[in-house]
Structures are given as structure tokens and as C-alpha cells.
Amino acid sequence: MIHPNVLRAGGYDPEVVRGFAFGMGTDRLALLRYGLADLRLFYDNDLRFLGQFPF
């Protein structure tokens, strides 16, 4: 839930407005999806890795 101080700093009255925020690293989700362990695989751009994705 967004902290009331942050809402106020954004010009909102916390009594009137509430907010929630979340973040998921898409690269971390991709790690889970493809069963990988090292995030750097996505940024090294090793063609032997990239070439395994047919789409």
C-alpha cells in the first residue's frame, strides 16, 4: 500500500485516496518461465542462447 506521506507528496489526501503499487522484474519472471538461474544470460546476448528461442 502506498505510504500516506508519498500520497501527500503527490498532492493526494490519504483519507480520500488509497493506492497500491507492485513491481515484478520481467527478467526475473522470464528466469522462472524458462527455468534459468542467471540473469546475465538476457544481457550477454550470447548467440548460442538467443538462437534457442525460435520466435
Partner 1 sequence: MRIPLSWLAEFVTWSGPAAALAERLTMAGLKIEAIEEVGQLDRRIVAGRLAAVEPHPEADRVLVCRVQVGRPAALVAVSGAPGLAAGQLVPVALPGARLPDGREAQAVRIRGVESAGVLCSEAELALGEDASRVLVLPDDAAPGTPLAALPGIADTVLEAEVTPNRGDWLSILGVAREVAAVTGARLRHPRPRPRESGAAAAREVRVRVQAADLCPRYCARVVRGVGIVPAPLWVRLRLRRAGMRALNAVVDATNYVMLERGQPLHAFDLERLVERRIVVRRGAAGERLTTLDGVDRVLEPDDLVIADGRGPVALAGVMGGEASEVTSATRVVLLESAFFAPASVRRTSRRLALPSQAAYRFERRVDPAMVPEALDAVAALIARTAGGRVAPGIVEDAPGTKALAPPTIRLRPRRVVALLGTRLARGEIARSLRALGATCRTQRDALVVTPPSFRGDLRLEEDLIEEVARVGGYDRVPVALPEVPLAAGEDTPERRLAARVRRALVAAGLAEMVTIAFTDAETNRRLPGFVGRALVPLAVKNPLSSETGELRRSPLAGLVRALRLNLALGATFVGAFELGKGYGLDAHGARQEPRAVALLLAGAWPPRGVERSGPPVDFLDLKGVLGGLFAALGLDGERVRWRPAGEIDALHPGKAALVELGGATLGVAGALHPAITQSADLPGEVWVAELDFAELAHYVPRRLALRPLPRFPAVTRDLAVVVDEAFRAGDILEEIRALQNPHIELVRLFDCYRGAPVPAGKKSLAYTIAYRAPDRTLTDEEVNALHAAVLQRLAGRFALEFRS
Which positions touch partner 1 (CB under 8 A)?
1, 3-4, 18, 42-48, 50-51
For partner 1, the closer of residues 11 and 51 by Cβ is 51
Q: Write the DSSP symbol of residue 6.
A: H
For the bound state, the minimum distance from the C-beta of residue 50 to partner 1, rounded and expressed in Å, comes to 4
Choice between 15 and 35, CB closer to partner 1: 15
Closer to partner 1 at the Cβ: 35 or 45? 45
Cβ burial 11-39 (10 Å sphere, 16+ → b, else e): eeeeeeeeeeeeeeeeeeeebeeeeeeee
